[in-house]
A and B are shown apart, each in its own frame.
Chain A
């Protein structure tokens, strides 16, 4: 056991995400103003601190820090935030920053608040193979993309609801247009499916060589999720699944993806001959 300072950085990052979310809430619902540079700035600083924390963790474990549920949540939050910083600036989606701050705050605060998630970490889970590590990182990055897709889908549903019910004032007035949200969602869906497909291709190359390497629960969960997202993507491209039904599908699938992390993680069994467990002392 040894003390690691990474959690301190991650706590600071979580505090900033939470601050961004709270300030955004005050600004939107109290002052009725759009969250602009302030939220973006806070999320940027939070992201930088989280990057430092994850980097320290990565250096300590000699790899991508995705070895337990805590790290998976942290990495997913980091991926979603990284994407927002690119997409939010490109599409001027200030309200997406507010939602991203909310998502990142929830994922990071919850993961930091449950010590048992980070008490034990499977080491050598990637068997020293960087390709398997790359496969896992890609898969989790796609979770980040799907997380952001769920957020834009929520924004889409809110905008449609506001237009249909004619409640256009206050919070609703800051939402991006229906068509812009649809375009962004389609791009995120495409990016997520491509990343997940690439991740599964890389993973499957090694899985066929050693089928014992991956437990079946994880395999079925991940493959099922991939098939579901692929189906949604195909139906969207054929215009069979659009508008509200598409948005609900994206939200439901992300919820399923997050929920599936528990059984996947708890079913993970370190391989006896190559891996061991490593306990982290919380700083």
Chain B
């Protein structure tokens, strides 16, 4: 087959156009992915392919030898999943040539993700490529494309600030704790109250290595239940004030109608731990910690509004960086396309603007596209 007929493409559905309930129907379980892989391997005219299957996207990267291959792939996928072809047509996104190159670079870098700059996606793209390698479904074009995408993703993350600053309240709180205590392995955390956001914050602490967690709630049963869930210790609520000095971080999310920790409690605790800072994360409404605590030396306090504002600032900063990242990746994709383009059809190369005009469902027109 002549290279003139080859087309590099990506087709699939992502969080940009496909709501969660549809993505759930489109997602491939490991077993189904294995079965569908076998079906794709038999698809005529598909010389190389890889499948990126995450909770936010199902994408097929491939090299087709035939103009009808992409449509056939879609048809088989819808059949396999028992999904309406018309509905898939409505949500589907597709790019070819250099646009497909650029799309993978943006996906790998995390700038196409729902949570901009998240790093998990790079691992998922690597897994997808490893799977394709194991199944020997990739060749010279996809090999080069994927390998280069990892390299460029790393470059963008190093040279822009798209991954800097946490954008969830829980992670912002953990970041702040790290600014105070450094490593969290030896940090003692008290989770006060059983609010959902408090639990999320406690989980975020545990996921970053914090081991010393204690739970306290107005009802001891509830505290013990949560403690079991977290593999933590439980503390009777009435002992909190006396034991405050034992903890480095206090995460508050009770539903009490008034402050449950007073400046007097904290002042007394600080006399026992003068050299050690104490950090309050007050996620309760109304607030659990007396705001006057902020005036005490070596005591830090952040409430829900503070954390939400920081998360929002970080998100805005990341979005500003996305513009810069896109510019970098545009240059990288042009250079990469020059290398790959010789192996695939030159006629399939559509300039970004032209491709967008011709195909309104192009990945290039995703709602997050800034450039």
Contact = CB atoms under 8 A, between A and B. Distances in A.
Contacts of A173: 164
Contacts of A236: 275
A163 B161 contact: no
A46 to B, nearest CB: 26
A168 B179 CA distance: 10
A182 interface: yes
Contacts of A24: none
B294 A178 contact: no
Nearest to B178: A177
Given A168-B176, A239-B274, A240-B274, 14 more contacts: A163-B176, A168-B179, A177-B178, A177-B179, A177-B180, A177-B182, A178-B179, A179-B181, A182-B275, A239-B275, A242-B298, A243-B277, A243-B297, A244-B297
A164 B179 contact: no
Nearest to B306: A166
Nearest to A236: B275
Interface of B: 161, 164-165, 176, 178-182, 274-277, 294, 297-298, 300, 302, 306, 310, 313, 317
Main secondary structure of the interface of B (DSSP, over half): mixed
A166 B175 CA distance: 13
Contact of A242 (B275, B302, B310): B275
A101 to B, nearest CB: 23
B317 A178 contact: no
B310 A166 contact: yes
A182 B274 CA distance: 12
A242 B182 CA distance: 18
Contacts of A180: 182
Interface in A200-249: 236, 239-240, 242-245
Contact of A179 (B182, B310, B313): B182
A240 to B, nearest CB: 8
A221 B310 CA distance: 48
A147 interface: no
30 contacts: A159-B179, A162-B179, A163-B176, A163-B179, A163-B180, A164-B300, A166-B306, A168-B176, A168-B179, A169-B317, A173-B164, A177-B178, A177-B180, A178-B180, A178-B181, A179-B180, A179-B181, A179-B182, A179-B277, A180-B182, A182-B275, A236-B275, A239-B274, A240-B274, A242-B275, A242-B297, A242-B298, A243-B274, A243-B297, A245-B297
Contacts of B274: 239-240, 242-243
